[in-house]
Amino acid sequence: MARRSGITNTLAIEHGGSFTHLPSDSRARVCCRPVPAVARVFVFVFLLCLCSAHGWAQQDDQQQMRGLDEQVQELKSDVLSIAAELSRLEEKLLYPSGTQVAVFIALAEGDQMRLDAVRLQIDGKLVAHYIYSSKELEALRKGGVQRIYVGNVATGEHQLEVLVDGKREGGADFSRTEQFAFRKEVKPELVGLTLAGPDSGNTPITLAEW
């Protein structure tokens, strides 16, 4: 018997069988028809729509991210404002205007001494001891003002003692101590201390009410 081969589309001969040729036109004809222009246009439009949708999705994501960033920044600003207001309220409660005294530190204009530390005593009691970093000293040299102390004292006369440690322009250590009398009225007392090095020709420590 003969069996059909799927590879050659011919008849194979088995033992004891006969050989027969297939007709020359027995193979199926394959027709290749061009894709209509309308179909090509449809595919192009479809791909274009996909690209546009992807672009719109990306734009929406970017807009959402920008919106979230703006909301985060607004929340941070609100938190900082609330914290500042709470700090002011706390200060008013802790230091009422009738007993509040604040001491500020500034350097004389153009002074180049290296300020190391300042200690304050009010009526013989140590109320502040501050050691300065290089960045803080640079800020003071540029005209900055530091609030070194805020506290409560009763109305009336008081003694303020100021001790300054630092280095002269040549590197030698120096120390200065001054005592001042001030009167606390029934209102906040703001005391300003201006410091100067021994090489500047200015008074080392001066006091003024602000």
Q: Please give the pLDDT value at position 43.
A: 57
Q: Report the C-alpha gap between 104 and 106 in whole angstroms.
A: 7
Give the DSSP letter string of 90-137. Answer: HHHHHS-TTTEEEEEEEEPTT---EEEEEEEEETTEEEEEEE--HHHH
Q: Report the C-alpha gap between 205 and 196 in whole angstroms.
A: 6
Q: Report the C-alpha gap between 80 and 66 in whole angstroms.
A: 21
Q: Please give the pLDDT value at position 206.
A: 94
CB distance 27 to 39 below 8 Å: no
Q: Please give the pLDDT value at position 150.
A: 95
Residue-by-residue pLDDT tens, the chain, 210 positions: 444 444 444 444 444 444 444 454 444 454 445 545 555 555 555 555 655 555 555 666 677 777 777 877 888 788 888 887 777 777 677 778 789 999 999 999 988 889 999 999 999 999 999 999 999 999 999 999 999 999 999 999 999 999 999 998 788 999 999 999 999 998 999 999 999 998 888 899 999 888
Q: Please give the pLDDT value at position 20.
A: 45
